[in-house]
């Protein structure tokens, strides 16, 4: 079996893995990222790049180049609850360079990171290469077993990072305990074409038993239709025509296009999970991003939390790996630093899931706008608080090296 040696092997070329790969290579540390797919062109990963992530780009001197990629900028968040138009967040007062949420297809974001990382000779990206297990020497993880275009291979590394997402293979292989926090919903993911006469982007529409979110991807709408967990059979049983009618009711201007959903193959089920590991590390192995803590789509913060994990990891690992090998203390320090923001964010997501989403999905009558949301509408200054929590998160990280 061919064997390759690198200092840090990262499984997973998502936001966490690509960002950490870039930061380590930039610091001159030899790093190999394994991505099981042949490209970044998957459309079910969310599109929101928040001010905290763009501040990191600014600190790296990359913000202008990043914003040259196709994106749209959302400075305030609004939505529709029942018949009320509601204002939810105002990002324009945040103390950062980019005072907006950038909606950028995630493949653009990842492709940008890959292009920047490739400038450094220490960066190696192996596409079409799936991590299948870990290599151990006693308790110490010493590498990754993988399958690439030429068959099985082994990658030896003094540090392995599991950034392979919610269904992490490495996390399972290492026997980590996952604590499930529960999610009452799943998401149906579909796309419909855009017409010049469509209204501008809204955050979404909440109505009796229904939550519908639309992301503007220039020439089409990427839509998320929220259903109760396990409710897919019920949706299927009602039939595709009923589903199309439902979309047309929630967004009447899409009625002339719902036939683009030709079969259930055009409606993908994304299961939502919220969980986290008790311990994020083992000797020689560290989990970050969704592999350490799967995030709910609530607030669109998962990508940004994954990036923050990567920045914090680089801040801790770079000085240590320049001087020698990362220690268990370094891995423990990383968990200590990132566990609190993760718990706080998941706590808020779970509160929204249980108090708002579950209630809406159960409601048969008219959905009333909660008083707290009404207050946001009445006092614009209050909209800065949700903007701060969503846009910056808890304990935002900064580039140190
Ligand atoms: C329905 C839904 C919508 C969401 N919408 C948003 C949103 O709008 N904004 C937001 O910020 N967050 C959103 N999230 C959350 C967000 O997608 C995640 O939190 C974020 O992608 C985590 O990044 P990551 O790098 O840790 O993992 P991932 O993005 O999952 O990346 C993992 C990468 O590893 C690769 N991989 C997996 N297994 C292997 C393997 N064995 N070997 C090699 N490679 C492997 C995968 O192909 C992938 O590229 C959403 C989540 C859901 C469920």
What's the pLDDT tens digit per position in 33-72? 999 999 887 656 678 999 999 999 999 999 999 999 999 8
Single pTM value for the model: 0.93
Any ligand 1 atom below 6 A from CB of 267: no
Q: Is 12 in the pocket of ligand 1 (CB under 6 A)?
A: yes
Give the three-state DSSP class for 281.
strand
Q: Quick one: what percent of the chain has pLDDT higher than 90?
A: 74
Ligand 1 pocket test target in 164, 267, 273, 291 with most atoms within 8 Å of CB? 164
Handedness of CA 80, 81, 83, 84 (dihedral sign): negative
- Residue 202 pLDDT class (50, 70, 90 cuts): low
Give the atom of ligand 1 at the shortest distance from the alpha carbon of 187. Answer: 1
pLDDT tens, position by position, 234-250: 999 999 999 999 999 98
Q: From the CB of 186, is ligand 1 less than 6 Å away?
A: no
What residue's CA is closest to ligand 1, atom 21?
Answer: 303
| Ligand 1 pocket member 17 (CB < 6 A) | yes
- The residue among 371 and 111 whose pLDDT is bigger is 111
Neighbours of 222 (CB within 10 A): 19
The span from the first CA to the last CA of the chain, in angstroms, equals: 37
Q: State the average pLDDT over residues 196-217.
A: 80
Largest CA distance in the chain: 66
106 or 19, which is more confident: 19
Find residue 286's DSSP bridge partners. Answer: 161, 281
Report DSSP letters for 35-52, one per residue: -SSSSS--S-S--EE-HH
Yes or no: say if 168 and 160 are a contact pair by the CB < 8 Å rule.
no
CB atoms within 10 A of CB 243: 19
Ligand 1 centroid to residue 165 C-alpha, Å: 5
Using a 6 Å cutoff on CB, does residue 393 contact ligand 1? no
Test site for ligand 1: of 183, 303, 345, 352, most ligand atoms within 8 A of the Cβ: 303
């Amino acid at each position: 079996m061919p064997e390759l040696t690198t200092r840090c092997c990262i499984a997973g070329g998502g936001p966490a893995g690509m960002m950490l790969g870039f930061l380590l290579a930039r610091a001159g540390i030899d790093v190999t990222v394994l991505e099981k797919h042949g490209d970044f062109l998957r459309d079910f990963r969310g599109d929101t790049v928040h001010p905290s992530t763009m501040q990191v780009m600014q600190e790296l001197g990359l913000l202008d180049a990043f914003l040259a990629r196709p994106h749209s900028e959302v400075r305030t968040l609004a939505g529709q609850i029942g018949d009320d138009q509601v204002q939810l967040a105002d990002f324009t007062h945040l103390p950062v360079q980019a005072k907006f949420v950038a909606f950028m297809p995630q493949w653009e974001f990842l492709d940008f990171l890959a292009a920047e990382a490739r400038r450094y000779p220490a960066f190696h990206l192996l596409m079409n290469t799936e991590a299948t297990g870990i290599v151990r020497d006693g308790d110490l993880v010493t590498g990754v077993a993988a399958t690439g275009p030429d068959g099985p291979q082994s990658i030896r590394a003094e540090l392995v990072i599991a950034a392979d997402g919610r269904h992490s293979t490495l996390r399972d292989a290492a026997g980590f305990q996952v604590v499930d926090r529960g999610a009452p919903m799943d998401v149906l993911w579909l796309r419909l074409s855009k017409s010049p006469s469509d209204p501008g982007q809204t955050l979404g529409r909440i109505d009796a038993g229904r939550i519908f979110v639309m992301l503007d991807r220039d020439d089409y709408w990427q839509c998320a239709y929220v259903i109760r967990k396990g409710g897919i059979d019920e949706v299927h049983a009602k039939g595709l025509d009923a589903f199309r009618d439902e979309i047309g009711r929630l967004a009447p201007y899409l009625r002339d296009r719902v036939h683009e959903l030709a079969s259930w193959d055009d409606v993908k089920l994304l299961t939502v999970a919220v969980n986290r590991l008790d311990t994020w590390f083992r000797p020689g192995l560290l989990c970050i991003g969704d592999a350490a803590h799967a995030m709910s789509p609530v607030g669109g913060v998962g990508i940004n939390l994954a990036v923050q994990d990567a920045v914090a990891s680089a801040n801790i690992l770079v000085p240590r790996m320049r001087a020698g090998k990362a220690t268990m203390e370094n891995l423990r320090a990383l968990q200590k630093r990132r566990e609190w923001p993760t718990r706080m964010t998941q706590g808020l997501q779970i509160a929204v899931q249980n108090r708002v989403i579950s209630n809406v999905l159960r409601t048969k009558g008219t959905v009333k706008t909660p008083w707290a949301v009404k207050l946001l509408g009445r006092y614009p200054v209050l909209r800065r608080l949700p903007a701060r929590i969503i846009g910056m998160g808890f304990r935002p990280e900064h580039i140190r090296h």
